[in-house]
Amino acid sequence: SLAPQAEAAGYSLLAFDSIGSTNSEALDRARQGTPGPLWVVSPHQRSGRGRRGRAWEGPAGNLAASLLLDVTCDPSVAATLGFVAGLAVEQALRISLPALEHGSRLRLKWPNDVLLDGAKLVGILLESEMMMGGRRIVVVGIGINVVAYPENAPYRATSLAASGAHLSAPSLFETLSATWLACHAQWRNGDGLPEIRRQWLTRAAGVGEAVAINTGSEIIRGTFETIDDAGQLIVRQADGSLKTITAGDVHFGAA
């Protein structure tokens, strides 16, 4: 079920009871010539994917949603769609569950997670591809822990149900398909990230605080200053210099 606005805007929807990965399905459909915008949605994935080859786990009842989009903008601009998705998810959660508004329980974590009470509730995976004939697509994959979360994560995770928030995945998705439209329109009209960046920063976790970022090749420590218009993280290091980080895993606190 798509919100009526999404249907009117020409979005289509493919729903599965169970699937390998909604991102993989969206990529496959694109390779077969299916045009965007297309949502692929399922309450259960058997081989959900995270960043850097990691797995995204979850039992039936959670929400996996991937949006296939055709893009014409520069790849570095398209990469900022993950921030649009983060904002859209956060808005959809606030609309669906007004109680989460209190005390800013929902926070965005760089690059694209959504935290609830400091624990990971949502993961977002952006993938892009250049197709035959010069067609360029982006798949924005969103995983939301509606009913459960894995216990073995190396950092704290949570679900809506664990926080006493009972909501069905289909109704959350319906709201998300509408908030996505509004956030995406702001992104397009703002010519990329600037407006989205401003909103993202007001809802972000850890700005002005100590962070350690594992980039895969090194660990960078400092103070989380801001993000730039390309969505890169800017860290002030102990010697006062600024470091720009394109990709990595953020840990809050000095440890």
Rounded CA-CA distance 74/178 in Å is 25
Residues at the site binding ligand BT5, with contacts judged by CB under 6 A:
21-23, 45, 48-52, 54-58, 64, 66, 113, 120, 123-125, 141-143, 145, 149-150, 153-154, 157
Between 116 and 183, whose beta carbon lies closer to ligand BT5? 116
Half-sphere exposure of 41 (CA within 13 A, CB side): 21
Between 48 and 192, whose beta carbon lies closer to ligand BT5? 48
Q: Which tokens in the block code for residue 201?
A: 């920063």
Residue whose CB is nearest to ligand BT5 in the complex, by number: 123
Cis peptide before 59 (omega within 30 of 0): no
Between 153 and 242, whose beta carbon lies closer to ligand BT5? 153
CB contact at 8 A, 67 and 39? yes
- What sign does the dihedral 142-245-201-109 (CA atoms) show? positive
Quote the least distance from Cβ 96 to ligand BT5, whole Å.
18
Between 4 and 233, whose beta carbon lies closer to ligand BT5? 233
> For residue 85, which of 183, 169, 14 has the smallest C-alpha distance?
183
CB contact at 8 A, 110 and 23? no
Quote the least distance from Cβ 6 to ligand BT5, whole Å.
17
Quote the least distance from Cβ 63 to ligand BT5, whole Å.
8
CB contact at 8 A, 203 and 87? yes
Quote the least distance from Cβ 66 to ligand BT5, whole Å.
5
Quote the least distance from Cβ 159 to ligand BT5, whole Å.
8
Between 120 and 237, whose beta carbon lies closer to ligand BT5? 120
